[in-house]
Structure 1
């Protein structure tokens, strides 16, 4: 457990150095020079970057800290995104923020402290202002309150740090990144009819006949139910898996499908068992086409490491039995339920390679301040965790459904998705999208999905100013 009041412990600095290697390049060494100054140097080379250190602020587990903005363009720096850059944790900045000091540079803001605070979700530790599903909501976050939730501010600040590195060490080869899209699909309901009890199916059929006046659905339901004993019926409205894979393959993308493998809440978990022949056949088909199989832990598992491990073991056993072997195993919590750092530790203890839960249900955007995958760190135990975090940028329901933003399936929803995607592209990051297979039934749903998942024609609004030499 932490026994100090600063973010920059030896473990945190070691983790931060790994993070800088991934994002900027190798050979950088971090050193705390005083209570208010940290330096970045390169092994065997002259020159240094000093940063203001604000260790206590970025160990706070609340959303009440101050926030100001920095106009980097006014100081001649090329910004990753247009507009002033939010600077959480400070009321005002001493300007100019970035100064040349005898060939070295000084940055008057704790960029690495912000990075620690956002990536470790220190803000969420021990919070009690939760929603009805026990989730920390976007509307309680510092990012929402200060209107930067839809900006990857960690990536934007690290972009500035890269520019300063280029000034101090002009010959250094910086690590290059490339924009990408990762598509994932939580398999809550793989079939509309196939796993329903006959009683429930009868009620659905009555609704089709008397309320919805849908004679086709009324007639098809029992035949689809009977025909789903070994494979998902091709006429089942929720059996959109082949269509999803075809769309991904057309864009050169790989989809991940996360399966529920437990039942801790009868009303919210899946109706299917993962050992069902139709699910086994689906898992084989996904793997055979080169896509990914992953875990979607049950509703009440997020606070119970043993439950998540049992469900992960169950999925891996099914996969082995079906001849499905993957280089990595990951997934996402059901309902995006997450308790920091309890759930983080549980994923690592289950032997999983990555988690992709960390996006908000009630608002899209950058919960972690980044669209890059990164190594996990436990801010309470003060240690690196053997797990990768793949931040979730948008879930389709968050933007489309009336319970959240309610933008529907038209142009307004498309523009919201595209703005998030463009922000990821500007920092050469990854747009991670969750879209449920059961939300691709109508032509309008499929058209919107197809547009959002297109790699080309990304609009990067705003001019990039040339890099100051």
Structure 2
């Protein structure tokens, strides 16, 4: 256990010290604001304040963890060896910047509370982020900082036994369209035929016809392969089902269709299942509540996991809705347009609500990459994508973090825009687990 002294123990201080020291470095912590208790403590200890009390391990504090609300902060970047950092300290500090304030700024997504321009889907734009501007979006810098701090702590406290966490991999699958052609209503089926005919997509007309006549399996029905890979390669896999009402952005099979319900029931026997709240749900509690109840009626078990469709969420409103609906885990923390670490960490963390200044019970699982980002946004080939996947996996493995990927059942179909991508998912898993 490490004792932390600070002149004022705030919710922000408790939150970020526990994330850095306890969740990343597996070091138990306790806090005191009494100098006499700190001086009397004969074990490892850190002072976090404006001036050192003596020759102890001291980190000069930035004001951020003692403030409330959100202010437009001036960020001046520097380097800690070769790693970007900010909130500089002074020569008496054990490290050249306030690791705790900087980590708090990144993990809470502080910058997303500030005025910003949204994209055409109403999402925070990756290129506005500090991580993109200073080229560390593809590095989990919070974890990298933590492990650099660990080395210094080991030198300072050589008799203390430090534990080591293990690398983890989680595969997540979004089911936006369980089937390409099957189990759609007549209006959608005939509408699809006529649209393809008008656009002279004769190959798709033919594919649709032979699938509907049961001469060929639906190309998006890749679930048995996903479950087989999960079993054979022993990969933790979570499926997120979109079961909202039909809109131009929510085009899955209706949740009233028996075959779709049976698919979900079948999946839940082999893997955890979560909710994929529909496009317009991010600021409407009634929509998420309705869809959560709909999924619970199918699975006959509580829904505790969620990922927003199109990754549309607004801080803190969307997360506040999820908390009110007793969702325990969210997997939306990432960008559609860019790979990397939106919250600059590869460690699951609890959402800190800057509106109410509290750590909430909602646990955020940040993902590192998405198949549609590689294909649609970055325009990479499958081979180029594997190179990027390996780079990100190596970054996570270096800090024994949690590597989370986001794929869709469609990307295993080898159909339409996914032509040539059929083997990528299996290759990705082998890289991630090697």
Superposition TM-score tier, normalisation by shorter sequence: 0.7 to 0.9
Identify the residue that residue 182 of structure 2 maps to in structure 1. Answer: 194
Q: Deviations over 1:92-136 (max 9, x none)?
A: x756xxx7xxxxx72231101111111111110143311001100
* CA displacement at 1:9 relative to structure 2: 6.2
Over aligned residue pairs, what C-alpha RMSD do you find?
2.9
Contact 1:23 1:175 in 2 (8 A): no
Within 5 Å, which residues of 2 pair with 1:34-433? 45=43, 47-48=45-46, 49-56=57-64, 65-71=75-81, 84-90=82-88, 106-205=94-193, 210-213=200-203, 216-224=206-214, 235-263=217-245, 266-289=247-270, 291-320=271-300, 325=301, 329-401=304-376, 404-409=377-382, 411-433=383-405
Which one has a larger percent helix, Structure 1 or Structure 2? 2
Q: Deviations over 1:268-302 (max 9, x none)?
A: 1134233432122112211222x111000111111
Contact 2:390 2:431 in 1 (8 A): no
Contact 1:333 1:357 in 2 (8 A): yes
Equivalent position SS for 1:422: helix
Equivalent position SS for 1:372: coil
- Change in CA separation of 1:397 and 1:117 when aligned onto 2, cut-off 3 Å: same
* CA displacement at 1:31 relative to structure 2: 5.3
* CA displacement at 1:218 relative to structure 2: 4.6
Equivalent position SS for 2:84: strand
Supply the distance in 2 between the matched residues of 1:43 and 1:352 (Cα, whole angstroms): 40
Identify the residue that residue 446 of structure 1 maps to in structure 2. Answer: 422
Give ranges in structure 1 of 5+ residues lacking alignment. Answer: 1-7, 72-83, 100-104, 225-232, 459-469
Give the stretch that moved more between structures: 134-143 or 22-31: 22-31
Contact 1:178 1:428 in 2 (8 A): yes
- Change in CA separation of 1:372 and 1:240 when aligned onto 2, cut-off 3 Å: same
Q: Deviations over 1:351-390 (max 9, x none)?
A: 1110010101110101011111112211121001111000
* CA displacement at 1:313 relative to structure 2: 2.6
Contact 2:184 2:254 in 1 (8 A): no
* CA displacement at 1:89 relative to structure 2: 4.0
Give the stretch that moved more between structures: 40-49 or 280-289: 40-49
- Change in CA separation of 1:234 and 1:346 when aligned onto 2, cut-off 3 Å: farther
Contact 2:17 2:100 in 1 (8 A): no
Contact 1:22 1:175 in 2 (8 A): no
Q: Deviations over 1:323-368 (max 9, x none)?
A: xx47x72120010011111111111111111001010111010101
TM-score, reference length from structure 2: 0.85
Give ranges in structure 2 of 5+ residues lacking alignment. Answer: 1-7, 47-56
* CA displacement at 1:207 relative to structure 2: 6.2
Equivalent position SS for 2:150: helix
* CA displacement at 1:181 relative to structure 2: 1.4
Supply the distance in 2 between the matched residues of 1:309 and 1:282 (Cα, whole angstroms): 22
